[in-house]
Amino acid sequence: MAKSLPERGSGSNYSPLIPIPDNLGLEIFLDPRHPPGTADAGMLVAAERQIAADRYAAVDAEVAAANAAGDPKIPIIYEVDRIRDGRSFTTRRVVAIQHGQAIFAMSVSFHVPEAGLDHRAEMPNVPGPESLPSDTEIRQRVLPMMPDAVRRYYERERPIELRPVEFERYLGRKFPEGKFNVWIRTTGPLPDAATTHQCVLAYASDLMLLDASLMPHGRTVFDKTVMAASLDHALWFHRPFKSDEWLLYAQDSPNASGARGFARGLIFSRDGTLVASVAQEGLIRERRKA
C-alpha cells in the first residue's frame, strides 16, 4: 500500500492538519506533510474540520482553481473562510498558501442529506477491470513499447491503480470519438469514513481528466510539444461510494479552443451507479519551437 494513504482505522483525515490560532475570524490549518498533488484533498479536510460536529453534512461539491505550482518540500497553510451556514447547505472557501502566496483556492459546499427526485446517466458498456492489463502487466508488457514520458509516469509509485480501457492510445492508436474510460481504485484498503473516500476521489479525479481534451487530436499530456496544466476543476458528489473499490471514470471533451481544453467526466461504481461528476478546463498550449 502506498505510504501516502491513511491506514485503516486512522480516522477520516487524509493528512494530519494542525490548527493555528488566529484573531481575524479565519480558521487556519497547517499541513506539515503532503504528497504531490494532494492539496485539493487537504483542503476538503480543512473545510470539513471547520464545521461543528452537530452541523456535519456530506460534501456536495467542490470547485477549485490552481494559481501556482505547489512545493512538496514545505508545509501548506490552509485558510478557511466561513461563507454560508444555512439550514441545509454550508459553504466554505479554502485558500492554500506557500511562500506567502496563494497557490490554490477552493469553494466547498456541504449538504445535509435529504430525499428527493432521482435519476442518473447510464454507465458506458466497457470491458471490466479484470479483462484489462493490471499495473504489473502494463509494466512488464506494455511499458517497454510506450514513449519515455508515458513510461516514467506509469513507473512511479502511486496510491491509485489505473486500468485504462483505451490504453492503446499511449501506443499511438487514435480514437476519433474522443472517449476515454479508466477504471480506478486505491492500491490498498481505506478507513470507512466517507470523508476519506471523498478526499481520495478528489485527488484521483485530477490525475488524467485534462488528457481527454487531447484525445481527439491523437495527442497526450505526455507529448513533448504540449504544455498542459489544470486551470479550474469542479467535482460533484452524488451518491456514496468506496474509493478502494473499482470505479469507472468515463471522460470526454466537448471543446478545445484558444489553447484551452475542456473535459468532463462521470464516475460510476462497479454496479453502474453514478456517484460523481467532474468538469475541468486546462491549458493545452502547443510549445513554440526554439
| 206 catalytic residue (yes or no) | yes
| 140 catalytic residue (yes or no) | no
Catalytic residue among 12, 81, 135, 230: 230
Q: How far apart are CA 253 and CA 255, in angstroms?
A: 6
Catalytic residue among 205, 243, 269, 280: 280
Question: Please, are residues 241 and 204 in contact by the beta-carbon 8 Å criterion?
Answer: no
Catalytic residue among 40, 206, 211, 252: 206
Rg over alpha carbons for the chain, rounded to the nearest Å, is 19
Nearest to 284, CA basis, from 211, 216, 235, 232: 211
Question: Please, are residues 239 and 113 in contact by the beta-carbon 8 Å criterion?
Answer: no
What is the number of helices (H) and of strands (E) in the chain? 4, 12
**Residue that is written with C-alpha cell 473499482 in the block:** 246
| 101 catalytic residue (yes or no) | no
DSSP assignment of 60-76: EEEEEEE-S---TTS-E
Active site residues: 206, 230, 280
